[in-house]
Each structure stands twice: as structure tokens, then as C-alpha cells.
């Protein structure tokens, strides 16, 4: 029903910047997205929340990325962004976006959380 596609991940040197993009799409039903987020998972580690952004645009960040990462959303385009600056080697991970959605249907509404397939970010020294 709802599909998220991330892009923008690549190899970058430490101190550099990247911008990740996540585009949400669905069927012809009316879909509203509430909370959206960016998560990451490094090899051998659990997935962690990097940034969460409300429907009103308020963002909260993990301590490890505060002051360096900035999340934003464009609801007209159903798109979520993550601007990452001053990248460190420890930021290397697969980055995933998530979106809490509400699908409005005559046959009955559907709510849930969708996940993207992930995009690899690798920060070299």
C-alpha cells in the first residue's frame, strides 16, 4: 500500500556532507503521513533512531548527530530529507526512513508504519 524509497547514500570523506531523500508513494487512496523518521544500522549493531520529525515539522535527534544532521519534510511531495554535515566514520551505516501512515478508504481505513529498503552511507577517513 505504502512504499518508501531512499536515495542519496554513497561513499564520502570524513568531514563531508550528504543529503538523503525518502519519497513516499501509495495507491490511489488518500494517504496522510504523521511521524516520519530516519534510522540507521551499522554492521553488528542494532538499528537506531537518528531523527524523528512530526507532522508539524518538529524534529528530534539522537545525541550522536545533534548539531550535524537536520531532518525536514515536504508534505506536498511526500518527501523526507536528511541533511548530514560534518560526517564521521562512525556515521557509516545503512540508513532507513520510516513513515507512520493513515490510508483513508471507503472499505475501512488502514494505519501502519512503512519502511524503506535502506541506502548505504560510508564515511572514509
Residue 63: per-residue pLDDT? 98
Q: Are 121 and 9 in contact (CB under 8 A)?
A: yes
For the chain, the farthest-separated pair of C-alpha atoms sits apart, in whole angstroms, at: 54
Residue 80 in grid coordinates: 523526507
Q: Phi/psi of residue 63, each to 5°?
A: -55, -35
Residue 27: per-residue pLDDT? 78
Residue 28: per-residue pLDDT? 73
Across 9-23, 26-40, 59-73, 92-106, least confident range: 26-40
CA–CA distance, 48 with 24 (Å, rounded to integer): 21
Chain segment 52-102, per-residue pLDDT in tens: 999 999 999 999 999 999 999 999 999 999 999 999 999 999 999 999 999
Rg of the chain (C-alpha set): 15
Amino acid at each position: 500500500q505504502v512504499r518508501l524509497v531512499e536515495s542519496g547514500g554513497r561513499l564520502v570523506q570524513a568531514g563531508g556532507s550528504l543529503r538523503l531523500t525518502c519519497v513516499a508513494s501509495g495507491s490511489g487512496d488518500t494517504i496522510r503521513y504523521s511521524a516520519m523518521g530516519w534510522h540507521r544500522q551499522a554492521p553488528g549493531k542494532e538499528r537506531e533512531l537518528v531523527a524523528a520529525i512530526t507532522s508539524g515539522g518538529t524534529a528530534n535527534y539522537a545525541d550522536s548527530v545533534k548539531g550535524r544532521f537536520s531532518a525536514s519534510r515536504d508534505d506536498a511531495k511526500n518527501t523526507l530529507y536528511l541533511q548530514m554535515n560534518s560526517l564521521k566514520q562512525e556515521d557509516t551505516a545503512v540508513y532507513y526512513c520510516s513513515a507512520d501512515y493513515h490510508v483513508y478508504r471507503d472499505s475501512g481505513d488502514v494505519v501502519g508504519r512503512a519502511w524503506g529498503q535502506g541506502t548505504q552511507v560510508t564515511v572514509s577517513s
